[in-house]
Amino acid sequence: MSTIAFLGLGVMGGPMAGHLARAGHRVTGYNRTASRAQAWQASLAAEGVKVATSATPAEAVADADVVLACLGNDDDLASVMLVDDGGALAAMRKGALFIDHTTVSPAIARVIADKADALGLHAVDAPVSGGQAGAENGKLAIMCGGTDEAMAAATPVMEAFAARIVHIGGPGAGQACKAVNQVCIAGVLAGLSEGVRLAQATGIDTGKVLEAISGGAAQSWQMENRWETMVRGEFDFGFAIDWMRKDLAIALEEASAKGVSLPIAALVDQFYAQVQSAGGARQDTSALIRHLPEVKTQ
């Protein structure tokens, strides 16, 4: 079993770190907000997890075989891993492994991979899909970028919380794949939102509609897991719109750099901006339906 430092103990990172502890790894958690780290430790008291008491992530990772991160965005990742004073990457011992589960740009993933290589470290960019429920249930889909050697070391660690692990390609490939993932989800949620509103407007039983169409070509994870809550106007779970817009910005920027047009993703991003401005920033991505006027059922 490995000695692990996990940086970022939020709604995704906290459960993932817990699965590592239950798998028998020696886990130390680090969070910039100390109270969150302490709450995480209390919830896993039986597993013997520790909390780093250091002021910097550098001190938290010094003795780790494996360092995992699940942070917010490019700036957050850079401030924890790459800063000259107290950055974690330079503090890792030679031969250690860094696995980044943050959804960030392919560009910063490649920067980290290059710096890790220069320091004698292994690095894998490994964004995840499956949301809070996937993290809590240990059933995440993980898309990975890195060398074959880095993946061989990372895979047994990630198996503690993964339903599927796919090595996409070299450094940055996992993040590029995550951008594709988010574009696909955005399109599905846009169609699902309009389908729910149409069902409501026609007055037919929305439960029967779900029963009928979820068994055919219209079926999707979003339909199976979000149709009923969208009908009820419940959005207090899952992956927040703030984060979806951050991810779509990465996808749209990557597409622009490659000369690719993503008109549907760009339009859905505008719809999300409307829901954000109406107070839905921290609601689940299925709150996209809120950009469509409510209809009275007949």
As a whole number of angstroms, the distance between CA 264 and CA 126 comes to 26
Mean of pLDDT over the chain: 96
Average pLDDT over every residue of 273-287: 97
CATH class of 3-169: alpha beta
Superfamily of domain 177-291: N-(1-d-carboxylethyl)-l-norvaline Dehydrogenase; domain 2 (1.10.1040.10)
Q: Which tokens in the block code for residue 38? A: 């302490």
Q: Do the Cβ atoms of 195 and 212 come closer than 8 Å? A: no
Tell me the pLDDT tens digit for each residue of 220-232. Answer: 999 999 999 999 9
From the candidates 139, 178, 208, 258, give the one annotated as an active-site residue: 178
Listed range (28-37, 52-61, 172-181, 209-218) with the worst mean pLDDT: 52-61
Tell me the pLDDT tens digit for each residue of 100-151. Answer: 999 999 999 999 999 999 999 999 999 999 999 999 999 999 999 999 999 9
Domains 3-169 and 177-291 share a fold: no
As a whole number of angstroms, the distance between CA 173 and CA 280 comes to 31
- Above 90 in pLDDT, residue 298? no
Q: Which tokens in the block code for residue 26? A: 């020696």
Average pLDDT over every residue of 176-185: 98
Confidence of residue 296 (pLDDT cuts 50, 70, 90): confident
As a whole number of angstroms, the distance between CA 270 and CA 118 comes to 41
Alpha-carbon separation of residue 21 from 2, 35, 147 (angstroms): 10, 20, 26
As a whole number of angstroms, the distance between CA 273 and CA 277 comes to 6
Amino acid at the residue 49: V
Dihedral of CA 283/32/105/157: which sign?
Answer: negative
Q: Taking the mean position of all CA atoms in its chain, how far away is CA 212? A: 31
Tell me the pLDDT tens digit for each residue of 199-228. Answer: 999 999 999 999 999 999 999 999 999 999
The pLDDT of residue 56: 84
Listed range (58-62, 93-97, 105-109, 155-159) with the worst mean pLDDT: 58-62
The pLDDT of residue 53: 80
pTM to 2 decimal places: 0.94
Confidence of residue 13 (pLDDT cuts 50, 70, 90): very high
CA-only gyration radius of the chain, Å: 20
Average pLDDT over every residue of 154-183: 98
* Of 264 and 55, more confident: 264
The pLDDT of residue 238: 77
Confidence of residue 297 (pLDDT cuts 50, 70, 90): low
As a whole number of angstroms, the distance between CA 211 and CA 81 comes to 47
Tell me the pLDDT tens digit for each residue of 261-273. Answer: 999 999 999 999 9
Confidence of residue 295 (pLDDT cuts 50, 70, 90): confident
Q: Do the Cβ atoms of 279 and 267 come closer than 8 Å? A: no
Confidence of residue 70 (pLDDT cuts 50, 70, 90): very high
Strands 122-125, 66-69: pairing is unpaired
- Above 90 in pLDDT, residue 54? no
- Answer yes or no: 296 catalytic: no
Please state the domain extents for the chain.
3-169, 177-291
Q: Do the Cβ atoms of 62 and 53 come closer than 8 Å? A: no
Instruction: Report DSSP letters for the chain, one per residue.
Output: --EEEEE--STTHHHHHHHHHHTT-EEEEE-SSHHHHHHHHHHTGGGT-EE---SSHHHHHTT-SEEEE--SSHHHHHHHHT-TTT-HHHHSPTT-EEEE-S---HHHHHHHHHHHHHTT-EEEE--EESHHHHHHHT-EEEEEES-HHHHHHHHHHHTTSEEEEEEEESTTHHHHHHHHHHHHHHHHHHHHHHHHHHHHHHT--HHHHHHHHTTSTT--HHHHHHHHHHHHT---SSSBHHHHHHHHHHHHHHHHHTT---HHHHHHHHHHHHHIIIIITTSBGGGGGGGSPP----
The pLDDT of residue 59: 87
Cα torsion at 154, 157, 160, 163 (round to 10°)? 10
Q: Which tokens in the block code for residue 192? A: 């699902």
Q: Which tokens in the block code for residue 23? A: 């798998």
Confidence of residue 84 (pLDDT cuts 50, 70, 90): confident
